[in-house]
Chain A
Amino acid sequence: GAGVSQSPSNKVTEKGKDVELRCDPISGHTALYWYRQSLGQGLEFLIYFQGNSAPDKSGLPSDRFSAERTGGSVSTLTIQRTQQEDSAVYLCASSYRRDRVNYGYTFGSGTRLTVV
């Protein structure tokens, strides 16, 4: 597609429920990233996929968070047993890298998650 597509755009869930957030990156982009933007906060790195390499999960805040990327394309971020502090905008980005140069990141419009 022309840009990074994220769905749903808004999600309201009850505390304790599981949620799945989807990201469809730009075709041809080998790297995919998830970030979280909480109200009044900056962008917090969550997880990074690059090609067939093992993902960098160093930013996941707890074991309730997981992500997978199927076929090197679409990614799903899953949050189990959601808590109110999980409320945030979850941003996905994809990028193209060549010769150790990263040509920037294209961000999706995000999924606004509200846990009530």
Chain B
Amino acid sequence: AQSVSQHNHHVILSEAASLELGCNYSYGGTVNLFWYVQYPGQHLQLLLKYFSGDPLVKGIKGFEAEFIKSKFSFNLRKPSVQWSDTAEYFCAVARMDSSYKLIFGSGTRLLVRP
């Protein structure tokens, strides 16, 4: 069965530190890839997405992610985090040859200390 793994469940950083959150998936075919963010008390918001083309994708608020097909990875990065980035981050994968349902990782809780 397809799965999405986020290995970091909790991450604590100080402001201005660099961030990298790992995401790996287990499906070998063509996929669409997403990162969603859920700020405290708010609903899920799309951070960025990859469909095809340039594997380095830039999203909102200075986030970017790199799709490495050979590693089945789609890691999220930000060079300098801010206190306002405190949130839960979800990686998600949709297979292109199935029902297109979005399968989520278990999420990473990021706490940024001022």
Q: How far is the CA of A43 from the CA of B104 in the complex (A)?
A: 6
Chain B residues with CB under 8 Å of A93's CB are 44, 102
User: Interface extent on A, as a size class?
Assistant: 20 to 34
> Is A1's CB within 8 Å of the partner chain B?
no
Best-surrounded residue of B45, B46, B101, B106 (most CB of chain A within 10 A): B101
Chain A residues with CB under 8 Å of B102's CB are 33, 45, 93, 102, 105
A91 pairs with B44, CB closer than 8 A: yes
> Is A71's CB within 8 Å of the partner chain B?
no
B99 pairs with A42, CB closer than 8 A: no
Q: How far is the CA of A35 from the CA of B34 in the complex (A)?
A: 16
Report which B residues bind A (CB closer than 8 A). 32, 34, 36, 42-46, 49, 51, 90, 92, 94, 96, 99-107
A-B pairs, top 10 by smallest CB distance, nearest first, are A42-B106, A43-B104, A107-B44, A109-B43, A56-B99, A48-B101, A102-B100, A42-B107, A42-B104, A104-B46
Report which A residues bind B (CB closer than 8 A). 31, 33, 35, 41-43, 45, 48, 50, 56, 59, 91, 93, 95, 97, 100-102, 104-110
